[in-house]
Copies of this chain bind each other. A is one copy, B any other.
Amino acid sequence: MSEYVFDTKAAAKFSDEKYQKVNLYESHRLFCDVYCLLPGQSQRAHVHNDEDKIYHALTGTCDVQIGDVTQPLPPGHTAIAPAGVEHAITNNSNEPATVLAVMAPHPRLRKD
């Protein structure tokens, strides 16, 4: 089995304190995380000036904000926050939720 293949369901970890970010892979080019949100938890609205962000819903349905629009993100749906566009994700449901989060380039490891 490859060290580069991940079961996102097995990787998920939750905490009552706050939503969890489980990193699968990172380089200067991108990071790929599983975000794990219990009911009521959220990643607050923020902007990355020079990075694009992808949220892809794995399990559960969060509400995603992209710019001025907030809408449900059910499993199999993908949201893109281009650089400069405010975004947030909140689990307003009664079930745990997991989201694949990808950002490029990596905001901390980027070389340019």
Task: State the copy count for this chain.
Answer: 2
In the assembled complex, the Cα of A77 lies from the Cα of B82 at a distance in Å of 25
CB-contacts of A30-89 with B (<8 A):
30, 32, 51-52, 54, 56, 58-59, 64, 66-67, 69, 71, 73, 76-83, 85
Are the C-beta atoms of B51 and A29 separated by less than 8 Å? Answer: yes
Chain B residues with CB under 8 A of A30: 30, 52, 54, 102, 104
Question: Which residues on the B side are within 8 Å of A52 (C-beta)?
Answer: 25, 27, 29-30
Residues of A within 8 A of B (CB): 1-2, 4-9, 24-25, 27, 29-30, 32, 51-52, 54, 56, 58-59, 64, 66-67, 69, 71, 73, 76-83, 85, 100, 102, 104-105, 112
